[in-house]
Amino acid sequence: MQTSNVFHAPRFGAYFKKHIVDNLRLYLMSMVVLVGVLIAIGLIGVFTTSKREIIDANFVFPFYGILLFGAGLIFAGFSFIQLGDKSRGIDYLLLPASHLEKFLTTLLITTVGFLLVYHIAFSAATFIGAGIVSLSRGKHTINGYFPDDLKNDMTQLYHWWFMAQGIILLGSAYFPKYSVIKTLFAVFIIVLLIGIVNIAFMSILFHGHLMHWAASAPFFGVAIVEHQQVETYRSVFLESPKWMRDVLYFFWRFILPPALWVLAYFRLKDKEI
Amino acid sequence: MITIQNLHFHYKKGRPLFEGLNLELEAGHVYGLLGKNGAGKSSLLKQIAGLLFPRLGTCKVMGYESRLRQPSFLSNLFLVPEEFYLPQVSIDRYVKTYAPFYPNFDEKAFQQYLDEFQVPRNQKLTEMSYGQKKKVIISFGLATNTKCLIMDEPTNGLDIPSKSQFRKVIAAAVNEEKCIVISTHQVRDLDNLIDNIVVIDNHKIIFKQDVETVTERLSFRSVKQLEDAENVVFSESSVLGHAVITENAGGTPGRLDMELLFNAVLEPSGRINQLF
């Protein structure tokens, strides 16, 4: 029976297994380093704040967020590192699995796999760190209460994380070497260009009425001055319509990350060595 | 097996590597792909493997467009690149993870090839020399039993006994269903191994003949003085006098001097090509 050239579950399983076997040592080492870094940063945070008696979610959350981005994006930046090396790239591209299977493996490992490992590492680090603090102070120091406002912050954090992960993954497909730095530079250039185009458009549309030449936020609004001839003039921030902001927000959260993944997949398909 | 039609390719615009290149390679043969440095031997092999894409024209292998790199195509093609990668695992682990992707992989044959190359199976790939690693990847490539086996400079890094072992294992692996393409600039390494010669130069295939036809039509020998030979098509000075290619009047196949033939084919006058 002819197997599918796009997706074949046993082949995908074999490829996934191969990927894990090839990278197992690296992943285990990374996990140990991650736990160590988390414990070290957490302990420094606790012991350098003399007044801190209780370790609660509000204290842990910033560490959680910063390291989620830091570690996750560096990890995603290594997604297609093999394509930066001729011999490894040939091995990768000529292994008899489909581009989709290879891409899905990378995507799963850098999203589901990473989040799973990160949470295990973070939980382990929190309990080990809190245990050390409790022992040193001779009392229980963990407050397990999780405030509702943090739950909303967590949701926002994950939306931003998936968007950033998608950007870095796409960047890794374009720049296999030093992908994080190159991608961040490319993002900076793109944001700068959007800003410049926005300033130019706003200057044309609101000529003479802008509060300041840079007083506008792309897609969100512009600050203008009313009654300029009167000494007590006032500035007004004109917001873009709510429906438009909602559409953009939806696009940002739910369309952009998968769109970036799709672009990365097609980049992989078109890769030449 | 391999059909390349009107292939155009360049790395940089204005500097073409292939211009309207056409090539047809059949199963059951061992092709030697020869060419000067930078002629495009490796790039042509990469086109066949789907690692580079034609800018114009087509490259089909077993009916598959190679640039699509479909799994059913890749599971029937193995490339031994000049610069190859082997993961930092044992040979057994390597076989366990890579062999499932090649449905015709022959474990017994793999062991035989390793034995022929005198590579111990229990050794870790990380502990091996470059030459030993090359033997492992060649053995694995042969054991995959893919219909198309491509090797780019396979004898680079092999010592003299290993080159002889290489010829032996390739000869043992040839069958009617398999097409083997070997690229090299060390033409003597292919002596008594290939049955077809393909020479690439100046963006095109300039010579493609089977060894039997070449030896039927041409005679390769050494003479002390050029006057000693008649119908000289090409000659080169050597320590013992002159190495010459003459027309083979009798038509009885003789020995082939690949290096001499290669130099003759590249000669601007193109006299050799006129005889075919």
pLDDT at residue B137 tops 90: yes
Q: Are residues B196 and B235 in the same domain?
A: no
End-to-end CA distance of chain A: 32
Q: Which residue of A has its CA nearest to B103?
A: A96
Domain range spanning residue B246? 212-274
Q: Are residues B151 and B251 in the same domain?
A: no
**How does residue B23 score in pLDDT terms, banded at 50, 70 and 90?**
very high
Is residue A266 a part of any domain in this protein?
A: no
**How does residue B81 score in pLDDT terms, banded at 50, 70 and 90?**
very high
- The secondary element (H helix, E strand) that includes residue A250 is helix A242-250
Sign for the CA dihedral angle at A91, A96, A100, A104 comes to: negative
Choice among A40-44, A246-250, B216-220 with the minimum mean pLDDT: A40-44
Is residue B233 a part of any domain in this protein?
A: yes
**What CA–CA distance (Å, rounded) separates A268 from A245?**
33
Chain A positions in Cβ-Cβ contact with residue B70 (cut-off 8 Å):
5, 98
In tens, the pLDDT along B205-214 reads 999 999 999 9
Q: Are residues B119 and B57 in the same domain?
A: yes
Q: Mean pLDDT over residues A157-173, rounded?
A: 96
Q: Mean pLDDT over residues A130-149, rounded?
A: 76
Which residues of B lie inside 8 Å of A (Cβ-Cβ)? 46, 49-53, 69-72, 74-75, 77-79, 81, 83-85, 87-89, 93, 97-98, 100-102
pLDDT at residue A1 tops 60: no
Q: Which pLDDT belongs to residue A215?
A: 85
Arithmetic mean of pLDDT over chain B: 91
Q: Which pLDDT belongs to residue B198?
A: 95
Choice among B13-22, B171-180, B263-272 with the minimum mean pLDDT: B263-272
Q: Are residues B159 and B259 in the same domain?
A: no
**What CA–CA distance (Å, rounded) separates A133 from B92?**
47
Domain end point (choices B202, B229, B245): B202
Q: Which pLDDT belongs to residue A228?
A: 64
**How does residue B273 score in pLDDT terms, banded at 50, 70 and 90?**
confident
Is residue B93 a part of any domain in this protein?
A: yes
Q: Calculate the alpha carbon distances from B226 to B214, B252, B269, B270 in Å.
A: 21, 22, 19, 20
Q: Which pLDDT belongs to residue B183?
A: 94
- Among candidates B52, B69, B84 on the partner chain, residue whose Cβ is nearest the Cβ of A99: B69
- Among candidates A22, A86, A94 on the partner chain, residue whose Cβ is nearest the Cβ of B79: A94
Q: Which of B10, B11, B12, B69 to mutate to test the interface with A (most CBs of A within 10 A)?
A: B69
Is residue A145 a part of any domain in this protein?
A: yes
Among residues of chain A, what percentage have pLDDT more than 70? Answer: 94
Is residue B254 a part of any domain in this protein?
A: yes
In tens, the pLDDT along A216-244 reads 888 888 888 876 666 666 778 888 899 99
Q: Are residues B188 and B225 in the same domain?
A: no
Q: Are residues B173 and B229 in the same domain?
A: no
Q: Which pLDDT belongs to residue A152?
A: 83
- The secondary element (H helix, E strand) that includes residue B20 is strand B15-25
> How crowded is residue A190: how many other Cβ atoms within 10 Å of its Cβ?
11
DSSP A61-78: HHHHHHHHHHHHHHHHHT
**How does residue B178 score in pLDDT terms, banded at 50, 70 and 90?**
very high
Yes or no, beta carbons of B101 and A21 under 8 Å apart: no
Is residue B207 a part of any domain in this protein?
A: no
Domain range spanning residue A47? 9-177
Q: Where are the beta strands (DSSP E) in chain A?
A: 216-217, 221-226, 234-239
Inform me whether the C-beta atom of residue A242 falls under 8 Å from chain B C-beta atoms: no
Q: Are residues B197 and B239 in the same domain?
A: no
**How does residue A51 score in pLDDT terms, banded at 50, 70 and 90?**
low
Inform me whether the C-beta atom of residue A91 falls under 8 Å from chain B C-beta atoms: yes
Q: Are residues B113 and B50 in the same domain?
A: yes
CB A213 within 8 A of CB A124: no
**CATH code for the domain of B25:** 3.40.50.300
Arithmetic mean of pLDDT over chain A: 88
Please, which residues 101-130 of chain A have a Cβ atom closer than 8 Å to chain B?
A: 101
Residue A96: beta bridge partners?
A: none
Domain total of chain B: 2
Q: Which pLDDT belongs to residue A225?
A: 84
ipTM of the complex: 0.92
Q: Which pLDDT belongs to residue B118?
A: 92
In tens, the pLDDT along B213-255 reads 999 999 898 888 887 778 888 988 888 789 889 888 877 888 8
Is residue A47 a part of any domain in this protein?
A: yes
Among residues of chain B, what percentage have pLDDT more than 90? Answer: 65
**What CA–CA distance (Å, rounded) separates B50 from B73?**
10
Q: Is B134 exposed, middle or buried (0-12, 13-18, 19+ CB in 10 A)?
A: buried
Domain total of chain A: 1
Across A26-30, A137-141, B115-119, the highest mean pLDDT is recorded for: B115-119
In tens, the pLDDT along B151-165 reads 999 999 898 899 999
**What CA–CA distance (Å, rounded) separates B259 from B271?**
16
Is residue A196 a part of any domain in this protein?
A: no
Is residue A146 a part of any domain in this protein?
A: yes
pTM: 0.89
**What CA–CA distance (Å, rounded) separates A190 from B9?**
32
What percentage of chain A's residues is helix, strand, coil (to nearest 5)? 70, 5, 25
Q: Are residues B217 and B107 in the same domain?
A: no
Q: Are residues B70 and B153 in the same domain?
A: yes
Q: Which pLDDT belongs to residue A214?
A: 84
DSSP label at residue B78: E
Is residue A197 a part of any domain in this protein?
A: no
Q: Are residues B198 and B224 in the same domain?
A: no
Q: Which residue would you say has higher pLDDT here, A147 or B236?
A: B236
Q: Are residues B198 and B69 in the same domain?
A: yes
**What CA–CA distance (Å, rounded) separates A17 from A97?**
12
